[in-house]
C-alpha cells in the first residue's frame, strides 16, 4: 500500500447529546493517489464522513489527519480540499470561467495565471470553449463537469465527491463514471467518492468502504468485495445475492453443510459463521446458479429440484425466479439467447459450482 | 356577465384607492389660490413657489437626506439580521423575527413617544442623527422581510461550495451570496427610504425646526395657512412614490431573471 494521505483516527460523530452516532469510531486510511468510494444506504454515515473531512461537520471525538496534520478543527476554507456537490452548487451569477477561477481568485493568483489554469481545467473536463456561458445555459452533465473543474483547478491534495452523479439520468451517469475514472487516472489526484449506487462504486473505485449503521463493514477492492464479501450485509448490498436462511449441520474448518429452512442440504464456505447448530445465511450469486429444464438427477450430483415460477427478459440477460424446496425461492441470471428455457411451472433443477456458496451469520 | 361584474368591482376599488390622490394633483396646477374645483386656470405658480421658498425647500432636502441616510443605515443593519435569521431554525427564529419586525406592528405613535423619552436624555431630540436613527429603526423590518424573501431563493450549499473553494465566510457572503440577493437588498433599501419619506408621526415628536421633513412641513402648512403649495408638495411626494414603486418593480423583475 502506498503512502497514507488522509487518516481518520477513532472519529465519532453524534448529533445532540445522547443521540445515536452517525459515525461510530471510524478508523480509515486514504492512500495518496487512490480513488476510495464510501458506499452505503442513506443514513449509513458515508456522507457524514465526507462532511467531516470537508469541514462542514465537526467530529465529536477523534482526529482527522491530512498529510500528517490534524485538521479536525480547521474551518473548511482553510483545509484546501476540493468538493463536488450533488446539486453542483455552481455560482449562477458567474460565468463558467469565473466559477472555475473562483478558487484561484480567492488565493490571489494573478489574472494571467488564472486564465491559463482555468483553460487547462476546462480542457480536462472537455468543456473547452464554454467558459463564457452561464451555468444555467449548460446541461446537467456539463454543470457537473464545471463543478469538477472548479474542485480540481487549485490542485488540492484530495477531491471529495458527494453523490455527484445522483441527479443525472442513467446513460449520462455511466458516461460520467468513466470520465471521472479517466480524469483520476490521468491526474493522479486522490479522490474520495460517496455513493449509494453499488454498480457505480464497482465501476469507479480503487477501493470501496461499505458503510452501514455508522460503521465500515468492509474495506476492499471492487473485485474482492464482490467475490468475497465479509458479512451478510455486504453480500446483500454489493451486487445481487440469494441469501438463503438455514442451520449449520456440520463444520470442518471452513467447509460447512447447511440445512436450508426450505429443506435441501447444501455445501457452503464459512466466512463469518458459527459451528453446528448455529443459524446462518447461505449466499449464492444469481449468475452462478445454473438452471436446466430437467430433473435434478440429470443435472448431476448436488443439483436441487426446483420449479421455475417466472422468467423476466431483460435484453442482455434473463432473470429466472425459481421455487426451491418447501417455500424457498432462488434467483438465477443467465445471458439471453442461450439454450431454450424451461416452461414456467414445469420441473427444473438448479446447481452451482463448488465454492460459489458462502455462509454468513444472520444480521442481528 | 360574471367577468363584467368582476371588472366593475375592480375598477370601483381602484377608483376608491386612487381618487384622493387624483383629486389633489390637478389642484397643484391651479392658477387660483383656493382648494376648489373647477380650476380657474392652469399654472405652475405653486411649483415656482415651492422651489423658491425657504419654508419648503429645506424640508425637501431634509426628507432626501434623512430618508437616504436612514435607508442606508436600515440596510446595513437589516441585511446581516436577515442573513442571520435565514440561518436560524425553530423557536429562536420565530422569537428573533418577532423582535426585528416589531417596529412594523407596534403603533407608530407608541414608537414616537418611546423615542422622545429615550432620545431626550442623550441629546438626540431635534437632531438629524436622531431622525436618521429613528427612521432607520422603522425601515429595518422592510429590509429584513425583502432580504429574507430573496434568501429563500438562494441555495445554502453555495456557501459550502465557496468555503470549499477557499473563501472565508465574509468573502463568501460578499462574492457569492450578496450579488445574488442584491435585487432584494436594493428593494428593501427603497422600501426603507419610502417609509422615511412619508413618515410624519415620529417627525412631529422628535424633529426640531431644522429637521422638518416634507410631510411634517405639509402638516404645518395645513395648520397655518392653506396654500396650494401644499398641493404641489403633495404632488412631489406622489411623484417620488411612483418612481420608487417603479424601481422596486424593476428590481423584482431583475431578480426573477
- DSSP output for A113-129: HHHHHHHHHHHHTT-TT
Q: How far is CA B227 from CA A284, B45, B56, B211, B230, in A?
A: 99, 11, 12, 21, 6
Question: Is A81 strand, coil or helix?
Answer: coil
| Residue A102 touches partner B, C-beta closer than 8 Å | yes
Stretches in chain B below the pLDDT threshold 70: 1, 224-226, 255-257
For residues A46 and A193, the answer to whether their CB atoms sit within 8 Å is no
Residue A286 Ramachandran class (φ > 0 left, ψ -120 to 50 alpha, else beta):
alpha
Task: Mutation target for A interface from B161, B173, B175: give the one with most A CBs within 10 A.
Answer: B161
Residue of chain A with shortest Cα separation from B180:
A93
Cis omega (within 30 of 0) for bond into B38:
yes
Place of cell 397655518: B224
Cell numbers at residue A194, please? 460517496
Alpha-carbon distance A145 to A87, whole Å? 12
Cell numbers at residue A144, please? 457537473
Q: Note the pLDDT of residue B218.
A: 84
Cell numbers at residue A126, please? 472537455
Number of C-beta neighbours around residue A98 at 10 A: 17
Q: How far is B155 from chain A (nearest CA, A)?
A: 8
Alpha-carbon distance A118 to A97, whole Å? 7
Least CB–CB distance from B176: residue in A80, A91, A150: A91
- Please choose, from the candidates A12, A7, A47, the residue with its C-alpha nearest in 3D space to the C-alpha of residue A28: A7
Cell numbers at residue B158, please? 453555495
Q: Which helix (H) or strand (E) holds A266?
A: strand A265-272
Question: Is B226 strand, coil or helix?
Answer: coil
Distance of CA A129 to the CA centre of its chain: 34
Q: Note the pLDDT of residue A339.
A: 64
| Contacting residues for A200 by C-beta, under 8 A, at least 6 apart | A37, A165, A173, A177
Q: Note the pLDDT of residue A296.
A: 59
Number of C-beta neighbours around residue B52 at 10 A: 11
Alpha-carbon distance B226 to B36, whole Å? 12
Chain B hits for A85, CB-CB cut-off 8 Å, are: 157, 160-161
Residue A115 half-sphere exposure toward CB, CA atoms < 13 A: 3
Interchain contact, A83 vs B176, CB within 8 Å: no
Chain B hits for A150, CB-CB cut-off 8 Å, are: 161, 165
| Residue A56 touches partner B, C-beta closer than 8 Å | yes
Cell numbers at residue B248, please? 422596486
Task: Mutation target for A interface from B87, B166, B177, B183: give the one with most A CBs within 10 A.
Answer: B166
Place of cell 453555495: B158
Q: Note the pLDDT of residue A209.
A: 96
- Please choose, from the candidates A240, A322, A242, the residue with its C-alpha nearest in 3D space to the C-alpha of residue A282: A242
For residues A327 and A301, the answer to whether their CB atoms sit within 8 Å is no
Q: How far is A75 from chain B (nearest CA, A)?
A: 9
Task: Mutation target for B interface from A76, A81, A114: give the one with most B CBs within 10 A.
Answer: A76
Q: How far is CA A263 from CA A244, A245, A300, B79, B219, in A?
A: 11, 11, 19, 71, 99
Alpha-carbon distance A89 to B222, whole Å? 58
Residue of chain A with shortest Cα separation from B171:
A106
Alpha-carbon distance A162 to A39, whole Å? 11
Least CB–CB distance from A89: residue in B161, B166, B168: B161
Alpha-carbon distance A197 to A15, whole Å? 26
pLDDT in 10s for each residue of chain A, 364 residues:
478 999 999 999 998 766 778 898 899 999 999 999 999 999 899 999 999 999 999 999 999 999 989 999 999 999 999 999 999 999 999 999 999 999 999 999 999 999 999 999 999 999 988 999 999 999 988 999 999 999 999 999 999 999 999 888 888 899 899 999 999 999 999 999 999 999 999 999 999 999 998 999 999 999 999 999 999 999 999 999 999 999 999 888 888 899 999 888 899 999 988 888 889 999 999 999 988 776 656 666 778 888 888 888 888 888 999 998 888 899 999 887 766 666 778 778 888 888 899 999 988 7
| Residue A109 touches partner B, C-beta closer than 8 Å | no
Q: Note the pLDDT of residue A294.
A: 66
Alpha-carbon distance A359 to A159, whole Å? 38
Q: How far is A169 from chain B (nearest CA, A)?
A: 22
Question: Is A360 strand, coil or helix?
Answer: strand
Backbone angles phi, psi at A191, to 5 degrees: -130, 140
Residue B99 Ramachandran class (φ > 0 left, ψ -120 to 50 alpha, else beta):
alpha
Chain B hits for A151, CB-CB cut-off 8 Å, are: 164
Q: Note the pLDDT of residue B16.
A: 93
Residue-wise pLDDT for B169-227, tens only, equals 999 999 999 999 998 999 999 999 999 988 989 998 998 888 888 888 888 877 766 67
Q: Note the pLDDT of residue B112.
A: 92
Encode burial over A39-50: b for 16+ CB neighbours within 10 A, e otherwise.
bbeeebbbbbbb
Alpha-carbon distance A21 to A60, whole Å? 9
Place of cell 433443477: A349
Chain B hits for A93, CB-CB cut-off 8 Å, are: 179-180
Alpha-carbon distance A95 to A336, whole Å? 48
| Contacting residues for A21 by C-beta, under 8 A, at least 6 apart | A12, A13, A14, A60, A214
Sign of the four-CA dihedral B132, B137, B138, B140? positive
Question: Is A272 strand, coil or helix?
Answer: strand
Interchain contact, B163 vs A55, CB within 8 Å: yes
- Please choose, from the candidates A356, A325, A348, the residue with its C-alpha nearest in 3D space to the C-alpha of residue A259: A325
- Please choose, from the candidates A277, B168, B207, the residue with its C-alpha nearest in 3D space to the C-alpha of residue B217: B207
For residues A339 and A262, the answer to whether their CB atoms sit within 8 Å is no
Stated length of chain B: 257
Amino acid at each position: 500500500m502506498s503512502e497514507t494521505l488522509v487518516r481518520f483516527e477513532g472519529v465519532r460523530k453524534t448529533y445532540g447529546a445522547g443521540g445515536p452516532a452517525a459515525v461510530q469510531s471510524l478508523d480509515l486510511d486514504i492512500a495518496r493517489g487512490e480513488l476510495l468510494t464510501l458506499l452505503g444506504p442513506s443514513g449509513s454515515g458515508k456522507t457524514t464522513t465526507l462532511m467531516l473531512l470537508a469541514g462542514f461537520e465537526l467530529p465529536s471525538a477523534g482526529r482527522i489527519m491530512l498529510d500528517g496534520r490534524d485538521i479536525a478543527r480547521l474551518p473548511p476554507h482553510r483545509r484546501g480540499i476540493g468538493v463536488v456537490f450533488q446539486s453542483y452548487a455552481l455560482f449562477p451569477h458567474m460565468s463558467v470561467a469565473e466559477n472555475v477561477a473562483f478558487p484561484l481568485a480567492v488565493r490571489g493568483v494573478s489574472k494571467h495565471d488564472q486564465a491559463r489554469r482555468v483553460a487547462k481545467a476546462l480542457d480536462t473536463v472537455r468543456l473547452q470553449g464554454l467558459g463564457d456561458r452561464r451555468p444555467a445555459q449548460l446541461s446537467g452533465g456539463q454543470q457537473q463537469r464545471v463543478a469538477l473543474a472548479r474542485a480540481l483547478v487549485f490542485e488540492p491534495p484530495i477531491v471529495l465527491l458527494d453523490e455527484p452523479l445522483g441527479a443525472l439520468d442513467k446513460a449520462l451517469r455511466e458516461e460520467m463514471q468513466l470520465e471521472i475514472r479517466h480524469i483520476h487516472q490521468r491526474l493522479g489526484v486522490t479522490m474520495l467518492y460517496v455513493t449509494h449506487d453499488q454498480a457505480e462504486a464497482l465501476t469507479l473505485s480503487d477501493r470501496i468502504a461499505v458503510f452501514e449503521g455508522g460503521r465500515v463493514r468492509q474495506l476492499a477492492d471492487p473485485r474482492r468485495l464482490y467475490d468475497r464479501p465479509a458479512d451478510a450485509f455486504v453480500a446483500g448490498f454489493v451486487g445481487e445475492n440469494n441469501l438463503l436462511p438455514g442451520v449449520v449441520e456440520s463444520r470442518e474448518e471452513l467447509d460447512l453443510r447447511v440445512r436450508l429452512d426450505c429443506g435441501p442440504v447444501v455445501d457452503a464456505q464459512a466466512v463469518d459463521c458459527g459451528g453446528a447448530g448455529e443459524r446462518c445465511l447461505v449466499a449464492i450469486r444469481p449468475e452462478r446458479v445454473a438452471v436446466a429444464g430437467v430433473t435434478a438427477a440429470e443435472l448431476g450430483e448436488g443439483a436441487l429440484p426446483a420449479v421455475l415460477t417466472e422468467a423476466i427478459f431483460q435484453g442482455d440477460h434473463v432473470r429466472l425466479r425459481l421455487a426451491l424446496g418447501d417455500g424457498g425461492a432462488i434467483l438465477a441470471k443467465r445471458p439471453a439467447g442461450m439454450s431454450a428455457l424451461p416452461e414456467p411451472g414445469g420441473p427444473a433443477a438448479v446447481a452451482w459450482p463448488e465454492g460459489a456458496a458462502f455462509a454468513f451469520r444472520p444480521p442481528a | 356577465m360574471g367577468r363584467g361584474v368582476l371588472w366593475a368591482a375592480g375598477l370601483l376599488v381602484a377608483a376608491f384607492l386612487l381618487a384622493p390622490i387624483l383629486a389633489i394633483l390637478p389642484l397643484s396646477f391651479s392658477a387660483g389660490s383656493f382648494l376648489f374645483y373647477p380650476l380657474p386656470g392652469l399654472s405652475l405658480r405653486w411649483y415656482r413657489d415651492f422651489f423658491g421658498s425657504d419654508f419648503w425647500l429645506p424640508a425637501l432636502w431634509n426628507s432626501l437626506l434623512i430618508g437616504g441616510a436612514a435607508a442606508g443605515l436600515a440596510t446595513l443593519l437589516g441585511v446581516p439580521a436577515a442573513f442571520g435569521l435565514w440561518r436560524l431554525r425553530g423557536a429562536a427564529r420565530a422569537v428573533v423575527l418577532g423582535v426585528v419586525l416589531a417596529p412594523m406592528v407596534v403603533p407608530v405613535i407608541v414608537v414616537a413617544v418611546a423615542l422622545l423619552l429615550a432620545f431626550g436624555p442623550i441629546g438626540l431630540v431635534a437632531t438629524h442623527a436622531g431622525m436618521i436613527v429613528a427612521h432607520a429603526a422603522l425601515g429595518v423590518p422592510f429590509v429584513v422581510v425583502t432580504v429574507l424573501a430573496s434568501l429563500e431563493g438562494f441555495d445554502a450549499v453555495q456557501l459550502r461550495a465557496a468555503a470549499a473553494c477557499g473563501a472565508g465566510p465574509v468573502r463568501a457572503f460578499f462574492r457569492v451570496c450578496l450579488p445574488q440577493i442584491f435585487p432584494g437588498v436594493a428593494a428593501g433599501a427603497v422600501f426603507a427610504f419610502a417609509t422615511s419619506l412619508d413618515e410624519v408621526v415620529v417627525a412631529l415628536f422628535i424633529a426640531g425646526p431644522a429637521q422638518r421633513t416634507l410631510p411634517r412641513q405639509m402638516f404645518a402648512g395645513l395648520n397655518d395657512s392653506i396654500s396650494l403649495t401644499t398641493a404641489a408638495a403633495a404632488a412631489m411626494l406622489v411623484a417620488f412614490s411612483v418612481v420608487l414603486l417603479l424601481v422596486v418593480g424593476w428590481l423584482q423583475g431583475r431578480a426573477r431573471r
